[in-house]
Structures are given as structure tokens and as C-alpha cells.
Amino acid sequence: MAGFLLWLLLLVFCWPLALLALVLYPIVWLVLLPFRLVGITVGAVFALLGAMLMLPARVLRGHAA
């Protein structure tokens, strides 16, 4: 909601820049999408490695009631 209000403010003060932002936003989103996917993948790999390292401790601890 804040982003929309900021865009409306930009539209009032400088409408060409606001229209340019409106057109470029989907293009920038598409360009940055691979980096977001790489970030999700790297986070998942680190979570998997952490789970694998903590597995022996969880097994030795046993079931806590």
C-alpha cells in the first residue's frame, strides 16, 4: 500500500517519471527473477546442509515429550 501511495505522489509531482516507472517495473521484475530463484535455491541448500549436520544430535537426543 505504501508503494502505491508513493507512486501516486510521484504521479502528482512528476507524471512522466511515474509513467516510466510503471512501464519499467515489469521489465525490472523479469530481469531480477533469476537472481531471486538463485537466492531461494542457495537458501534451501544451506537449510538442507544445516539439517544434515544437526541430524545426529537430534537422533541422539531422542523424543522429547
Query: For the chain, which residues make up each domain, given as ranges?
Result: 25-65
Average pLDDT over residues 38-49: 97
Rg (CA), the chain: 22
Percent of the chain scoring above 70 in pLDDT:
97
Average pLDDT over residues 17-45: 95
| pLDDT beyond 70 at 64 | no
Q: For helices 2-13 and 15-61, what crossing angle results, to 10°?
A: 160
Residue in this structure with the C-alpha cell 508513493, named with its chain if needed: 6
